[in-house]
Amino acid sequence: MAKTNALSQHSRRHFLLALGAGTASTAAALVAMKPTTAQKTSATEQRPEGAGYTASAHINNYYRTAKI
């Protein structure tokens, strides 16, 4: 009985170690993929003023056909 308990403790330790290592590597990957502030500002500079919502022909067609 003591042998099975020792094996189960050993397996649990390896599982928790692998879980911690996986969590740490996932966090590192997410931090590496996070855009820097320089990338964020360059994306906003490319957009001209007033380039927000524009009602194009297909949107106007939808509004026209959606009226009840």
Query: What does the pLDDT look like over 34-52, one tens digit per residue?
Result: 776 665 555 556 666 666 7
Q: Whole-prediction pTM value?
A: 0.37
> Structure tokens of 9?
């403790």
Distance CA 37, CA 43 (A): 10
Distance CA 35, CA 10 (A): 40
42 in a domain, yes or no? no
61 in a domain, yes or no? no
63 in a domain, yes or no? no
62 in a domain, yes or no? no
Domain that holds residue 3: 1-33
> Structure tokens of 5?
């308990």
Q: How many domains does the chain have?
A: 1
53 in a domain, yes or no? no
**For residue range 11-29, what is the model confidence (pLDDT) as tens digits?**
888 888 898 998 988 888 8
Beta-carbon contacts of residue 63 (< 8 Å; ≥ 6 apart): 55
20 in a domain, yes or no? yes
